[in-house]
């Protein structure tokens, strides 16, 4: 049955509402400040009512821990479990839960489903998700690689197969979600087998304001020798590092312009970003035992052809080569690889909303909900 789905995507400072109808067409949209809780429901009510009647709601939830390996219909018990996972994602989970509370207050009788950023990576093999830490630590605190951006990686890998006229069976795909946050996933047969983010979204690639991977000994050194408290370390690594720390701006457009004009800080930021990105793509390809498809998605992945070109220039040994014209411009979803290149390279518009709506419909179909 065709359903009209309200997709709720809560970020750190904004709340994106999208209504998807038949064929996943966007039939309504609203961008609002992130809610703080049920007290903000009154401010949301007008916007939600203005989007028209909906049959179900899909909420993007950042962290499902080891409890949720797929979408789930939301009830009081699920909410309690989500609240218990807040310590695993203290910067992100409260925003998702506040949005859930506020929207539920406006639409209390509409079925709601939670879709998780971590769930796509629940298929990681033990070799990929296990940290080399004492077993008592790993068991007591569920210390493992969780991975994030799973909804984006799931959509991009599925859409890549569609564009190539294939099923995902047998395909080895590296999906590059490059935005303010950035991560890669190694996807084989439609399943995530490795990813760059870890226990938290701070790990992996250089991002807009996040450092990405750094030597943990460096962090320990700062705590011991510089007397830096954990809160300051966390705030710096999360909000004052990455491209911002290297170039004084988190905007890739400004960095590309500055590098072209010869500004050394911008050039360094771009070089560090691309160096880490190339190496991580190669690592994902190694986890797959080879590479068939490379996809770029997210704000930078979709709208920075120079970043794609620089990245591909260092991946010829994997079989990656771009067509300059296709890379520069074209439809939102397109192939940008050179003719005859062993690896197919694609640009795919990020559509987490489509992936969430798909999961919502699947859950409701399973439960026989009208």
Q: What is the CATH number of the domain that holds 291?
A: 3.30.420.40
* Whether residues 172 and 96 fall in one domain: no
Tell me the mean pLDDT in the region 238-249.
97
253, part of any domain: yes
* pLDDT reported for residue 32: 85
Q: How far apart are the first and last CA of the chain?
A: 8
* pLDDT reported for residue 370: 55
264, part of any domain: yes
DSSP state at residue 35: P
* Whether residues 9 and 83 fall in one domain: yes
> Do 63 and 56 touch, CB atoms closer than 8 A?
no
Write out the residue range of the structural domain in which residue 321 sits: 166-351
User: With the CA atoms of 316, 320, 326 and 332 taken in that order, what torsion angle do they form, in degrees rounded to the nearest 10?
Assistant: -140
* Whether residues 180 and 308 fall in one domain: yes
Model confidence at 2: pLDDT above 70: no
* pLDDT reported for residue 65: 93
d(CA 354, CA 66): 24
Quick one: which of 168, 153, 198, 208 has its CA closest to 348? 153
110, part of any domain: yes
Model confidence at 354: pLDDT above 70: yes
**DSSP 3-state percent helix, strand, coil across the chain (nearest 5):** 45, 20, 35
Half-sphere CA count of 360, side-chain side, radius 13 A: 32
DSSP line for 91-152: TTHHHHHHHHHHHHHHSTTS-EEEEETTGGGGG--HHHH--SS-HHHHHHHT-S-----HHH
Model confidence at 36: pLDDT above 90: no
* Whether residues 202 and 309 fall in one domain: yes
Given phi > 0 = left and psi -120 to 50 = alpha, else beta, which region is 193?
alpha
> Do 299 and 179 touch, CB atoms closer than 8 A?
yes
- Structure-token pair, residue 118: 């971590």
295, part of any domain: yes
* Whether residues 183 and 53 fall in one domain: no
> Do 265 and 258 touch, CB atoms closer than 8 A?
yes
Model confidence at 1: pLDDT above 60: no
161, part of any domain: no
Q: Given the structure tokens 């038949």, which residue do they identify? A: 22
* Whether residues 78 and 104 fall in one domain: yes
* Whether residues 326 and 359 fall in one domain: no
pTM over 0.75: yes
Cβ burial 7-34 (10 Å sphere, 16+ → b, else e): bbbbbeeebbbbbbbeebeeebeeebeb
* Whether residues 317 and 292 fall in one domain: yes
Highest mean pLDDT among 4-13, 78-87, 348-357: 348-357
DSSP line for 294-332: EEEEHHHHHH-HHHHHHHHHT-GGGT--B-HHHHHS--S
Q: Which residues pair with 29 in a beta bridge?
A: 18
Model confidence at 243: pLDDT above 80: yes
Model confidence at 336: pLDDT above 90: yes
Model confidence at 103: pLDDT above 70: yes
* pLDDT reported for residue 33: 81
* pLDDT reported for residue 345: 98
157, part of any domain: no
204, part of any domain: yes
* pLDDT reported for residue 369: 65
Residues in the chain: 370
User: Is 87 a residue of the active site?
Assistant: no
* pLDDT reported for residue 40: 62
Domain total in the chain: 2
> Do 36 and 101 touch, CB atoms closer than 8 A?
no
Model confidence at 209: pLDDT above 90: yes
pLDDT band at 81 (very low <50, low <70, confident <90, very high): very high
63, part of any domain: yes
* Whether residues 97 and 230 fall in one domain: no
* Whether residues 227 and 97 fall in one domain: no
Q: Which of 40, 87, 109, 117 is catalytic?
A: 117
* Whether residues 50 and 77 fall in one domain: yes
> Do 175 and 187 touch, CB atoms closer than 8 A?
yes
* Whether residues 196 and 267 fall in one domain: yes
Q: Which residues pair with 60 in a beta bridge?
A: 115
Angle, vertex CA 278, rays to CA 146 and CA 350, nearest 5: 60
User: What are the phi and psi torsion angles at 194 (to 5°)?
Assistant: -165, 160
d(CA 232, CA 20): 41
Q: Given the structure tokens 């943990």, which residue do they identify? A: 216
């Amino acid at each position: 049955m065709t359903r009209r789905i309200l997709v709720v995507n809560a970020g750190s400072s904004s709340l994106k509402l999208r209504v998807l109808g038949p064929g996943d067409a966007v039939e309504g949209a609203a961008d609002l400040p992130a809610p703080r809780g049920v007290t903000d429901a009154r401010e949301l009510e007008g916007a939600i009512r203005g989007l028209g009647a909906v049959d179900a709601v899909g909420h993007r939830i950042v962290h499902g821990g080891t409890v949720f390996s797929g979408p789930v219909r939301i009830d009081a018990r699920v909410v309690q479990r989500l609240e218990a996972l807040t310590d695993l994602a203290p910067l992100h989970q409260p925003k998702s839960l506040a949005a859930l509370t506020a929207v539920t207050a406006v639409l209390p009788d509409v079925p709601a489903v939670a879709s998780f950023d971590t769930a796509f990576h629940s298929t990681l093999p033990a070799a990929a998700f296990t940290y080399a830490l004492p077993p008592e630590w790993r068991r007591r605190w569920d210390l493992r690689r969780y991975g994030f951006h799973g909804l984006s990686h799931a959509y991009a890998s599925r859409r890549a197969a569609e564009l190539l006229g294939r099923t995902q069976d047998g395909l080895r795909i590296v999906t590059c979600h490059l935005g303010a946050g950035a991560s890669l996933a190694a996807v084989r047969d439609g399943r995530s087998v490795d990813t760059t983010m870890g226990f938290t979204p701070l790990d992996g690639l250089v991002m807009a304001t996040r450092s990405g991977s750094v030597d943990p000994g460096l962090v320990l050194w700062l705590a011991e020798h510089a007397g830096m408290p954990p809160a300051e370390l966390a705030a710096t690594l999360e909000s004052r590092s990455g491209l911002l720390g290297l170039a004084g701006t988190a905007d890739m457009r400004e960095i590309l312009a500055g590098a072209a004009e010869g500004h050394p800080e911008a050039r360094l930021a771009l070089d560090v970003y691309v160096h880490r990105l190339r190496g991580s793509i190669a690592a994902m390809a190694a986890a797959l035992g080879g590479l068939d498809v490379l996809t770029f998605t997210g704000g930078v992945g979709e709208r920075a052809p120079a970043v794609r070109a620089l990245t591909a220039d260092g991946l010829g040994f994997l079989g990656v080569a771009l067509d300059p014209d296709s890379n520069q411009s074209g439809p939102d979803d397109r192939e940008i690889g050179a003719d005859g290149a062993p690896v197919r390279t694609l640009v795919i518009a990020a559509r987490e909303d489509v992936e969430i709506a798909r999961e919502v419909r699947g859950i409701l179909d399973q439960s026989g909900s009208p």
